[in-house]
Structure 1
Amino acid sequence: MDNGVATLDGKVYSVGGTDGKTDYKNAYVYDPFAQAWSALPNMSITRTAPQVAAYGGKLYVFGGWDPYGRPVAKTEIYDPATGAWSIGADTPKPYAGAAVTVLGGKIYIVGGCTYDGCGSTDVQAYDPASDTWSSGTAYPEPISWLGCGAIANKLYCAGGATSAGTTKHAYSYDPSSHSWTAVADLPIDLWGMGYSTADGKFLVSGGVTDSFTTITNQGFTYDPGSDTWTALPNSNNALYRGGSACGFYKIGGSPAGWDAAKNSELLPGYDQCVGIPWLSVDKTEVTIQPGESADVTVSFDANVAEITQPGTFTAQLTVSAKTPYGAIPSVPVALTVNPPRTWGKITGTVTGVDCNGTPKPLTGATVQITSKTASYTLRTDRNGQYVLWLDVSNNPLTVIAAKDGWASETRSVKFKQGMATMADFSLKPDRTCT
C-alpha cells in the first residue's frame, strides 16, 4: 500500500510503498502482454505515498515519507531506455499523500501531508524540460489523499481528506487564468482512492467514504463536457491507499488499517491515456479477419490552443490487439509547424559568472519578454537557453533575465522577420564579491 503507480509505453510501473511493517524503495514493472511483473533497480531511498508520473518516456518520482516520516525532497527519474535512475531538481515543498498529474508539459502536485500532519493548499508544477519548479494558485481548501487528472487544457481534482472530514468537492484548474472553479461534487465523499484520466474522462475508484468509516469498491467517471459523474463498475476489491494509473489499473492498497494487499486489477476499456490535441484518428478500434487489413486515417491540426510556437511536435500511436503474438510496436508521428512569414525568433543563453569569473549556464532562470501588446514569461532549459517566436509588429522588445542569487539584467532588443536574433545575458552575483 501507499505505492506510486504510472503507465508508461503500455507498461505499468509501481514504486515504493509499505507492507504495513516495512517501507520500500523497490520498483517493479508489469508487462500486460507477458502478464508478468519484473523487478527494476531500487530507488535511492524508501518512499511511502510518493507521487509518480510518466512523461516524455521517463518515470518521475516525487515526495513520499522517508523511514522517519519526513517528506522526501529528492526527485528521482527512471529511464527505461537505460534501465537507470537519475536525479532531478529537489521538490521545494515535498509531500506525501498528494495527487499528481501531467498537464501541458508540466507535472502538477496538489495538496498532501507533511511530517506534522495532512492538509495543504499548495499546488506545485515541475517542468521536466528545464528541470525547474514553479507554484500554482492555491487549492480552494486544505487537502490530502485526493485524486487529480488532466483533460484537454484543464486540471480536475476531486475528493480527499480535510480537517473537517472526507469531502466530495471537485474543482477544475485553468493554468491560463491561474484559477480554480467548482464543478459537480462527487456522488459520495471519498479519499485514498485510485484515480486516472482516460478517453477524455476523469476516473476514481475505491478509497474511504462515510467520513473515514467505510472502505468502498465504488467508482465514478466525470465528464467535463456535461459536468456530470457516472457510476463505474465496482472494483473486485475494496481497498484504499493503493496505486493507480491509466488503463484503468489499480495496484496494491489495503482492505483495512495497515493490512497491505498484493491485489492488482484492471478495468478494461480505459486505455487511451494521453490526449494529443493536434492529433486525431478517424477510428480507434477495428475488427479484421485473418489476412485482411484496415486503414486508419491520421489527421494533424496546428490550429489548436496548445500550439503557440513553431517547432516539431512528436507523439506515438499505440496499437494493441487481442492476439497471441505479443506486443505491437508503436507508430511514431511528427508534426512540423513552420513560423508565419512575418515572425522572427529571439533566443539566447543566460549565464551566471561567479566571483571567480567562472561562467556557467543558469537553468530555470526567468526571462521576461515584453512587447507593445503583451508579456511573455519563459524559463531557461538545462543549458540556460530560451527561445520565443513573435510577429515583428511586436518590436521593440524589453527583455529581463533574472534568477535568485543573481543581479537581474535588462536590455532592449529589436528582431527581424525570418531570422534568429541572439540576446545573451551574463548575470553577476547579487552580493559583493570578496
Structure 2
Amino acid sequence: MKEERFYAASAVLNDQMCVAGGRVGHNIYLSVELYNPVVNTWTYIPPMKIKRCHHALVSYNGRLYTFGGYDGLNPLNSMVSFDPRKGKWKSLKPMNERRYGFCAVVYNDEIYAIGGRKLRSVKRYNIRTNTWTNVSSLNHVRYGSCACVVNGKIYVIGGGDEELNTTIEAYDGTINEWKIETNMKTPRYDASVVAL
C-alpha cells in the first residue's frame, strides 16, 4: 500500500480491494486506497469526510459504506457512502449509538453493525429507506471480533472486552436470534475472517 495502516477497514469493490482509514501512531487517516490485482497497483480514491480507525467498511451494489469508528477523540456514529461513478462520499443516517472496534456484514440486502467496545447490541441499516433498526443482541460483548455470512447466517468470531472470547455466534435472520455455535481452541482478537 502507499501508507502504513493498522485498525483500518477493508472491503471488495468491483473486483478491487479497498482499504480505508486506520492509523499509524497518533495519526488517523482520511485516505482510501484501492488495489487492482490485474495491474498490481494501488491508487488513491477520494478521501472519507471524517478520519476513522476501528470502523467498518462494506461494499454493496457497487458502492462502499463506512461507519462508526474512532476519530482520535471520540467514538463515531456517522455513516457515509462512496459511489465510484460520481467519485464522491455522501453522508447517510448515523447509527443510534456510537461504536468502534465492531464488525459489519451485508446480510439479506441490509448492513449489520455488530458489537463493539462494551456492546452486545446489533443494528441493521436498510439501504433503501436510509434507516437503522435494532435486532437481537449478541450473547457476549464483542470488541475486536470479525464476521462473515455463510449458508444464510451471520457468524461472529472471537473478540471480547474484559476477557477474550473463543466462542462463535451465529445469527439466523428468519427467527432474529443469536446462538452459540461452537468454540475455537484459541481466543482471537482483531483477527479477520473470509468465507470461501
Q: For this structure pair, what is the TM-score category when the shorter chain's length is used for normalisation? A: over 0.9
Does the Cα contact within 8 Å between 2:159 and 2:188 map onto a contact in 1? yes
Q: Which consecutive unaligned segments of at least 5 residues does structure 1 have?
A: 114-118, 199-434
Matches within 5 A, 1:315-326: none
Q: Name 1:192's counterpart in structure 2.
A: 190
Q: After superposition, what is the alpha-carbon deviation per residue over 1:158-199, rounded to whole angstroms, capped at 9, x for unaligned?
A: 111232x2111011111111111111211211111022223x
Partner SS for 2:66: strand
Q: Name 2:48's counterpart in structure 1.
A: 43
Distance 2:194 2:87 in 1: 26
Partner SS for 2:119: coil
Q: After superposition, what is the alpha-carbon deviation per residue over 1:351-384, rounded to whole angstroms, capped at 9, x for unaligned?
A: xxxxxxxxxxxxxxxxxxxxxxxxxxxxxxxxxx
Q: Name 2:114's counterpart in structure 1.
A: 110
Distance 2:150 2:142 in 1: 21
Partner SS for 1:194: coil
Of structures 1 and 2, the one with the larger relative CO (CA 8 A, separation 6+) is: 2
Distance 2:169 2:160 in 1: 15
Does the Cα contact within 8 Å between 1:171 and 1:182 map onto a contact in 2? yes
Distance 1:191 1:73 in 2: 22
Partner SS for 1:76: strand
Superposition CA RMSD, Å? 1.1
Matches within 5 A, 1:266-305: none
Equivalent residue for 2:65, pick from 51, 60, 63: 60
Per the TM alignment, residue 152 of structure 1 is displaced from its structure 2 partner at its CA by 2.8
Q: Give me the identity figure in percent.
A: 23
Distance 1:11 1:139 in 2: 32
Determine whether 1:142 maps to 2:128.
no
Does the Cα contact within 8 Å between 1:125 and 1:133 map onto a contact in 2? yes
TM-score of the superposed pair, with normalisation by structure 2: 0.94
Q: Name 1:183's counterpart in structure 2.
A: 181
Distance 2:14 2:151 in 1: 20
Letter of the 1:75 counterpart = M
Q: Name 2:14's counterpart in structure 1.
A: 9
Partner SS for 1:170: strand
Per the TM alignment, residue 107 of structure 1 is displaced from its structure 2 partner at its CA by 0.8
Q: Name 2:37's counterpart in structure 1.
A: 32
Q: After superposition, what is the alpha-carbon deviation per residue over 1:257-308, rounded to whole angstroms, capped at 9, x for unaligned?
A: xxxxxxxxxxxxxxxxxxxxxxxxxxxxxxxxxxxxxxxxxxxxxxxxxxxx
Q: Name 1:126's counterpart in structure 2.
A: 125
Letter of the 1:177 counterpart = I
Bigger radius of gyration among the two: 1
Does the Cα contact within 8 Å between 1:3 and 1:49 map onto a contact in 2? yes
Partner SS for 2:116: coil
Q: Name 2:76's counterpart in structure 1.
A: 72
Partner SS for 2:95: coil
Q: Which consecutive unaligned segments of at least 5 residues does structure 2 have?
A: 1-5
